[in-house]
Structure formats: structure tokens, C-alpha cells
Structure 1
Amino acid sequence: MSYSEEFRLLVDAYKKTDRDGKVLLNNKFGNLVISKDKVVGKNEIKGFHIKHKSIKDGVRVGIFIDEDARIEFPIHLCFGMLPKEGRQVIKSEFFIGKGAKVKFLAHCLFPNAVHIEHIMDAKVYIGENAEMSYLEEHYHGDTGGAWVYPRLKGKIDKDGKLCEEFKITNGRVGVLNIDYEIEQEERSSCELLTRVYGKGDDKIEVRESLQLNGVYAAGIAKSKIMLIDNASGTVLGEIAGNAAYTRGHIDCQEIVHGEGAKASSMPKISVNNSLAKVTHEASIGRIDKKKLETLMARGLTEEESVSFIVNGLLK
């Protein structure tokens, strides 16, 4: 298959995330498209630069945002595999220059997955007074044949900001194991958001850790996990207030539907300075029976009613 054909098929799969694939064809948007171990498309724009090289089963990528750069439109990143089986390794480093502001829309696409393994090993460095937003949407097909391991280690410098959101709500999840760890300096802020809809026998594990090391650093780790059928989910949220006037909060919400669905939540908070404050809240519940019955009385099937409620909660 040619690079152009792989690119076209990934653009088609991109639409499964409810996004417009045309953005990958428009040269005013910065983008990077990787199919298994090949870069099949990229577009560098002012203030945004890419370095890459092939490695075993994947690609090593360096993404650079210049100091004081203001990237007007979101940069689109697309990582995927079209075959039913295979392994993809992405080792990425993001360098966000001092005073820069940038948004990324990243998509991981495995539309035909029967036995796909995807490893994302990312490192993020956010410079002083820089801001980065990163929305990562996944689509793994409908068979549950994906094993996905997102790993992130981040460092946010003084007055820097990071908003990291992971989302998979369409299709099956398969096996998902998220592991994020962020270190924050003075007056930095971080928001980690996770939204996952597990079905069938999907297995979901989420670990999010924030280390508030500088004075006035603030962070929140927020997860919404919806589980039906025989899906299972475990969330470990960890925040440590290590400096004066730091503020942290963990918010975990899991909802189960069906006799086989299982959920657990383990918040871990610590304060290592008497002027720090860290809080948490966690809940595990079921879909409201009255809402379900109301929708079914209006003509929806139980499956359609559950999806309607869950998608509303995830939004």
C-alpha cells in the first residue's frame, strides 16, 4: 500500500471520532500523520517544527513550539494502524517554548483491530509562562481487539499550564492502561481529564499522578468512567502537595450498568507542607432506573437508552 493510500484511509478513519478529516488536508493546520512505523503526512507551520525517525515497530518524534509562539489553529496529530494485527510504538517528546501557547488534537485510530498493541511513551516539557492543551481521542473499532498503553511524564515550569484530556467513547476499548505523572513548579497549573466508555469485556486502568512541587502550584485529576456488560475499571488518582499554598483535587466518577460490570477507585492524597491543601471525591453508582425507563417508554431500546444516558454524562 502506498503512503498516499494509507493517508487517505487514516483520514477516513479519523471521521469515526466525529471530527472533520478535511483538517488533515488543509495546509493552514499543522499536522503529523503516522501509520504504524511510517510518517505518511506532515505539515509544519510557523512556530511548529517536527523531527522524526523510524524505530522498531514505530517512530520517535520530537515536536517543538518556538518561544512566544501563538499557534492560531489546533495542531492535528494522527497515529494509527489499518491492519487487523500489529504493534505500534510512538516515542514522543514535546518541547513548548517559554511564553508559547498551543493546542493539539491527537487521534489514535485502529478501526480494524483484532489484535493491535499500541504503546505511546510521551514526555512533555512546558516552559515558563507557556500553555499547552492536548485532547487525545481514540477509536479502536468494534471488536475489543486493542491493547493500548498511554504513558506520559511531564514537567511544567513556573507559571506554565497544561490541560490533558483523554477520550474514548465510540466503539470498544479493549485493554487500556493509562499512566500519567506530572511535576509542577511555582504557580503552574495542570488539569487531567479522562472520559472512557467501556463495553463487553473491556478492561480499563487509569493512574494519574500530580506532584505539586512549587509554591501556589495547582492541579486537578478528573475521571469519568462508564462501564456496561462485563467491563471493568480501576482508577488510581494521586496528588501530593509538596510546597506552600499548593492546591490539588481528585474527582473520580464511575458508573456501572449490568450484572457483570465492575469498578474501583483508589484516591491517594498527601500533604508535605502545612500550607498545602489537597482534597478528593469519588463515587461509584448506577444509571438512574427512572431515566432508563422513561427513554424506553418513548420507543428506545434498552441499549439505545443506556448509550443516550452515558454519552450525555460523558459530555
Structure 2
Amino acid sequence: FVEENAQISFNMVHDYNTEYMIYPRSASKVDKNGIFISSYICLNEVKSVQMAPTAYLVGENAIARFSSVLLSSNPNTILDIGSTAIIEAKNCRTEMLARALTKNGIIINRGKIVSHVPNTFGHIECQGLVLGGNGYIRSIPEIEAGPDAELSHEASVGKIDQEKIDYLMCRGINKDNAVSTIVRGFLDISIKGIPQSLQDEISDIMEQASHGL
């Protein structure tokens, strides 16, 4: 429970082995002027993860932000990751941002926002890269908006643009390093509201993970 004028950041970084099946469950209630920030990073190898944290924005001016970075190069991996925001008060905002990258595994990204309250705002964004193999990415955004609620979503899934690879190779970078550079840039998202020291640590983890794809 995020009380009036309070802020909570909930961050998970997971790196399991291929035998683990993970089912985290969480929900939050955010009161007036409260801020709830949830970030999740999954780095390969896990057998399956299924999670969809929910935030209830019950006080005016409440904010909920969800960020996820999902990597999979194991053909036996299934990541089913989502988030839900239920807006119940005026002037509330929510944002859901996901980056998904697969080489062999299956990634399903879900986002849901519900608001029937005036002057409320929400946005869902999912971007995915498929680096060959037999993996795929499925994006499932869902918005339910009443009068005067402004909700939106966008999603893009595809492969790395060959022109970007060619551009870097023309500058003396070999193909493997060019792909790695593009992947690092794709995964380099700034998570709002967390300390810079944690952001730096997350960036280091993503740097190491990008070399394994």
C-alpha cells in the first residue's frame, strides 16, 4: 500500500537455471499523490515465468510505472509477463514499458489499463527484437477507457534493420560487434524513479547479457 505522498520502487532482477518455473504474484494500492514504480528484468535460462502485477490507483494524482526487460535464448524458455493498472481516481497516470529480445525462446508481453474516470492518462509500449532461431514474441495490449480517459498503446516486433548493421560495418565494426552494439542500445532503457547506482548496476547486467545472445 502506497500511502498519500509516498513513493515505492519495487525492482526484480532474475537469472535462473533451466529447471525453474517462477510465478511471482503482487498487487499494490496507490493513494493520493503516491507513486509506485515496478521494474522487472529476466536474463535467460529460466524454464518459465508467469507474472502480472496489478496497481490500483485509488487516490487523485496517483502514478504507477511498470518497466520490463526480457531476454531469452533458450528454446525451452517461456516468459509470460504482464502488468495491469486499474484507475479509480481523477488525474491519475500509468505507463507500461517493455523491451523483449529472443533468439529461441517464447516471450509473451501483456499490458492492461482500465479507466472510467475523467482526466486520466495511460500508455502501453512494447518493443521486441527476434534474433533468428525458433523464438517468437507476442504482444497483447488491452485498454478499456470511459469518457474523458486518455489511454493508448503501441507495439513493434521484428528483426534488426540490416541498414543499421551495414552502417556500423562501414565504420570498421565487424558484424558480431555491430549486432551487439545495436542490442545494447535497444535494451538500454532508463527506469524512472530508481537511484542512479541501481540504474548503473542494471546497465552493467544488460551489457553482459547482450554478449550472450
TM-score (norm 2): 0.79
**1:219 equivalenced with 2:94 (yes/no):** yes
Of all paired residues, the percent bearing the same amino acid is 24
Alignment of 1:225-244 (within 5 A): 225-228=100-103, 230-244=104-118
Report deviation, 1:299.
Answer: 6.3
Partner of 2:5, secondary structure, is coil
In structure 2, do the counterparts of structure 1 residues 146 and 293 end up closer, same or farther at CA, with 3 Å as the change threshold?
Answer: farther
**1:193 equivalenced with 2:67 (yes/no):** yes
Report deviation, 1:307.
Answer: 3.9
In structure 2, do the counterparts of structure 1 residues 268 and 161 end up closer, same or farther at CA, with 3 Å as the change threshold?
Answer: same
Alignment of 1:22-37 (within 5 A): none
Given the alignment, which residue of 207, 212, 218 partners 2:82? 207
Which residue of 1 is the match for residue 143 of structure 2?
Answer: 269
Q: Which runs of 5 or more residues in structure 1 are unaligned?
A: 1-124
Q: Deviations over 1:255-276 (max 9, x none)?
A: 111141211111110113x121
**1:127 equivalenced with 2:3 (yes/no):** yes
Q: CA-atom RMSD, angstroms?
A: 2.0
Q: Deviations over 1:274-309 (max 9, x none)?
A: 12111111111111223345667856564x554443
Letter aligned with residue 2 of structure 2: I
Q: Deviations over 1:16-37 (max 9, x none)?
A: xxxxxxxxxxxxxxxxxxxxxx
Q: Deviations over 1:104-147 (max 9, x none)?
A: xxxxxxxxxxxxxxxxxxxxx11111011222212225xx3322
Distance 1:137 1:224 in 2: 14
In structure 2, do the counterparts of structure 1 residues 295 and 176 end up closer, same or farther at CA, with 3 Å as the change threshold?
Answer: farther
Letter aligned with residue 10 of structure 2: Y
Considering fraction of residues, name the structure with more strand.
Answer: 1
In structure 2, do the counterparts of structure 1 residues 293 and 165 end up closer, same or farther at CA, with 3 Å as the change threshold?
Answer: same
Report deviation, 1:181.
Answer: 1.1
**1:250 equivalenced with 2:124 (yes/no):** yes
Report deviation, 1:246.
Answer: 0.8
Distance 2:21 2:169 in 1: 34
Report deviation, 1:223.
Answer: 0.8
Which residue of 2 is the match for residue 289 of structure 1?
Answer: 162
Q: Deviations over 1:223-279 (max 9, x none)?
A: 111111x2111111100112111111111111111141211111110113x121111
Alignment of 1:136-155 (within 5 A): 136-141=12-17, 144-155=18-29
Letter aligned with residue 161 of structure 2: D
Q: Deviations over 1:135-190 (max 9, x none)?
A: 2212225xx33222222111101110011111134x53431212111100221001
Distance 2:98 2:173 in 1: 31
Given the alignment, which residue of 156, 159, 167 partners 2:41? 167
Which residue of 2 is the match for residue 34 of structure 1?
Answer: none
Letter aligned with residue 130 of structure 1: A
Which residue of 2 is the match for residue 26 of structure 1?
Answer: none
Kindly name which structure, 1 or 2, has the bigger radius of gyration based on alpha carbons. 1
TM-score (norm 1): 0.54
Report 1 or 2 for greater relative contact order, CA contacts < 8 Å, sequence distance ≥ 6: 2
Given the alignment, which residue of 181, 206, 230 partners 2:54? 181
Partner of 2:45, secondary structure, is coil
**Partners of 2:165 and 2:175 within 8 A in 1:** no
Partner of 1:151, secondary structure, is coil
Which residue of 2 is the match for residue 309 of structure 1?
Answer: 182
Which residue of 2 is the match for residue 103 of structure 1?
Answer: none
Report deviation, 1:312.
Answer: 2.2
